[in-house]
Amino acid sequence: MSPLDTLLDPLPEARTLASPIAGRLRELIIEGELKPGQRLNERLLCEQLRVSRTPLREALRRLAHDGLVTLVPNHGAFVSEMSKQSVHESFEIMGALEALAGELACRFITDTEVAEIEALTFEMMACHARRDLPEYYRLNRAIHDRIATAGRNALLDELSHKLNLRIQNLRFRSNLDSQKWDHAVRDHQRMVELLKARDGPALSALMREHLKQKADAVLAMIE
């Protein structure tokens, strides 16, 4: 029997089970299966994920801490919504963080790290060719995370990760526009070229513009 099939969990085990549950819910939110503003029905989620309520509630608390879920007393949990102003501000800050990450990465990245990012980019391009957006986006996240890590700035990495958690579903949705998605792929090919050249200013400018394009696509959908 899988641990997720257990109906009654002691608190320590519930906390352990909460991590994979939170991860699965995060993916459902990112990919739009659970939509902004949607009330999260605990009974249905327990049936769907085959878990009990104690670890599910712990998972929801974790997602609330990340800003993906809003807990309303006496009303339950809802997928968080962002106003147009909040979307604009979040992507503006994210663009600045990723621009700095790109500049720092060009200073400190190793040839091995560049090769790994290039390999991930090739995999991502293959997903784009077959229009596999969920797998494409998982690889996309890995690439951006590795660029941030290559900057060798732990605080920048932490801030980027926290803000990214709030807007992952929006970054995913930005690729629903096929032209924007095609443009994003070209951006990633250029990112690899600039990393190889260690051209920090150019990569910084590209990363900032890349996030602006994402914001524009999301705001257009909201409109």
CATH of the domain at 174: 1.20.120.530
**Whether residues 101 and 181 fall in one domain:** yes
**Whether residues 105 and 16 fall in one domain:** no
**Whether residues 67 and 98 fall in one domain:** no
Domain end position, chosen among 79, 103, 118 = 79
Kindly report the average pLDDT of the chain as a whole number.
92
pLDDT of residue 13: 59
Mean pLDDT in residue range 190-205: 98
Checking if the pLDDT of 4 tops 50, the result is no
**Whether residues 71 and 110 fall in one domain:** no
Checking if the pLDDT of 206 tops 70, the result is yes
**Whether residues 55 and 133 fall in one domain:** no
Q: What's 75's domain CATH number?
A: 1.10.10.10
Tokens of 43: 């009974």
**Whether residues 61 and 107 fall in one domain:** no
Mean pLDDT in residue range 80-109: 97
pLDDT confidence of 12, banded at 50, 70, 90? Answer: low
**Whether residues 50 and 93 fall in one domain:** no
Mean pLDDT in residue range 83-110: 97
Residue range 175-188, pLDDT digits in tens: 999 999 999 999 99
Q: How many domains does the chain have?
A: 2
pLDDT of residue 25: 96
Name the pTM for this structure: 0.84
pLDDT confidence of 14, banded at 50, 70, 90? Answer: low
**Whether residues 199 and 152 fall in one domain:** yes
Residue 216: which domain range?
A: 84-222
**Whether residues 105 and 210 fall in one domain:** yes
**Whether residues 173 and 196 fall in one domain:** yes
Domain end position, chosen among 79, 98, 130 = 79
Checking if the pLDDT of 163 tops 50, the result is yes
**Whether residues 166 and 141 fall in one domain:** yes
pLDDT of residue 85: 95
